[in-house]
Amino acid sequence: MIIASNFKTNHTRASARAFVEALGAPKCEVRVFMPFTALDNFETNCQIKMGAQNFYPVQSGSFTGEIGAEQLEEFGIQSVLIGHSERRHILQEPTTLIRQKFAFAVVKNWEIVYCIGEPKEVREEGFEAVKAYLETQLEGIDMAYERLIVAYEPVWAIGTGLSASVEQIQETHQYIKTRLSAPLLYGGSVNANNVASIVGLKECDGALIGSASWKKEAFLEILNHTTQGEIR
């Protein structure tokens, strides 16, 4: 079971350190994706890994404002988010760059949390449209990569307070599982109240969580409910 916190544009170095220190020794695997300015050399339990929300697919070079592998390696970062909907839709990150990032991370042997998910208008067209949309996001991605984790995050449920129903999550995860053998997480307004029912699904291997995970007390509560919900 993998539970990941995506800090997005939140936390400072001091608050991130307090968050990580509060985690102790969790009973499941934990990932914390924090802003670049909050990265540090943390001493953590082996179940906890720090991750980067973004990177540019170079070791180093002349790319003003970007962060390359050299900067991440200084902090021992080996887990990265790729393809998050906020980068795809808000920051207009093109599919070509997403694929370049994926290929670069494979060469670096980093753990990849690769995000996929459909917008509201696609979901409203029906499940066949959802499957076709997800296929476009999986195209050109090495789904056999041994350090791959996929996160299904319906765009319409991210930061909206709306989570997909358990039935929708199960149906979509069942389909995605036919395409890969990697761990499959769910993301989209996951919180302490619904996490147990979500991670209790046979097809769900954990959760990628945004705003509900930013306060350490809330994240610890989520971890507690996760352990209760894990029925496999």
Annotated binding site for substrate: 6-8, 159, 189
Relative to beta strand 29-34, strand 148-152 is unpaired
84 is annotated as an active-site residue: yes
Q: Which of 11, 84, 173, 225 is catalytic?
A: 84
Q: Which of 86, 93, 118, 153 is catalytic?
A: 153
125 is annotated as an active-site residue: no
Annotated binding site: 6-8, 159, 189
Cα(112)–Cα(150) distance, integer angstroms: 8
Active site residues: 84, 153
